[in-house]
Structure 1
Amino acid sequence: MKVLVVEDDPNLRALWGAVIERAGHTARQVETEPAARDLLMAEPFDLVLLDLFLGETDGVSVANFATYLNPACKVVVITGTALYPKGELFAMAPSIWAVMRKPVDIEDVTALCEHVAGNGTLPPPEALSTRGAEFRS
């Protein structure tokens, strides 16, 4: 499975990329919206792990662009903001499959990747939601 990690924090970006690759997937990493768009146009991805705020821009346009190019692509927003606490992101971008709140448990990131890859290891949504995960219903 191919995963695009879009995160402006270099430590988180490297950590998520390393964990995804250790799980046997391919991870490409970028830090900006323009870099994400360029890579999405060049390669198809199965999953995009997306920080909601990338410097001065937000990632909603990246989410929509990813699924415009590849409707099967899943987008998981990982954010540290307290904005949009009641699922508003799902209304803003129909392409968003799940939202996770920072700090995230790296095992939850791995579980999401495994679920998207078809390995069916995703914990029940209610188990993740206690740690701040929301899923499109």
Structure 2
Amino acid sequence: MSVLIVESNPELARLWQRHLERQGRKVVTARTQHEAINMLQSEHVSIIVLDVVLEEGSALAVADYASYRYPDVRVVFVSSSNFFSDGSIFNHSANACAYIPTSAPPDDLAALVDHYEVHL
């Protein structure tokens, strides 16, 4: 199964991708809502790492589409802002399973992916 990383910052996406690939995961990346939706139409993913603030498009639209297409797939939301730091992201996205800062160590992200991965 693969992990979909949706992150507008290509350097950060590559950092996470390389770390997850070293742990034996197949990882695909997208930078925008449009790219993420296209990936979800062609790839079976087991978990999504999704930045709350995308440069192009809406992260919540990606999460909603993922919930429709793959009802059991969980979303790990990441953000560099404090906008959802109160935990309200869980009220807006039924498939949200975690919310961490983009500054979290890649090992923490990998642990969350391991914990919440759904085997389709």
Q: TM-score, normalised by structure 1?
A: 0.81
Cα offsets for 1:42-90 (capped at 9, x unmatched): 1211100001111143301111111210112110010011112211111
CA RMSD in angstroms, aligned pairs only: 1.4
Counterpart for residue 79 of structure 2 = 79
Asked if the contact 2:50/2:78 (under 8 Å) is kept, the reply is yes
SS at match of 1:63: helix
Q: Percent identity?
A: 29
Look at both structures and tell me which one has the larger radius of gyration over its CA atoms: 1
Q: TM-score, normalised by structure 2?
A: 0.91
Which sections of structure 2, spanning at least 5 residues, go unmatched?
A: none
Counterpart for residue 38 of structure 2 = 38
Which sections of structure 1, spanning at least 5 residues, go unmatched?
A: 119-137
Task: Select between 108-117 and 22-31 the one with higher mean Cα deviation.
Answer: 108-117
What is the rounded CA distance, in whole Å, between the counterparts of 1:109 and 1:68 in structure 2? 24
Cα offsets for 1:86-106 (capped at 9, x unmatched): 111111111111111121111
Higher relative contact order (CA 8 A, sep 6+): 2
Asked if the contact 2:33/2:56 (under 8 Å) is kept, the reply is no
SS at match of 1:53: coil
What is the rounded CA distance, in whole Å, between the counterparts of 2:117 and 2:92 in structure 1? 25
Deviation at 1:116, TM superposition (A): 2.8
SS at match of 2:84: coil
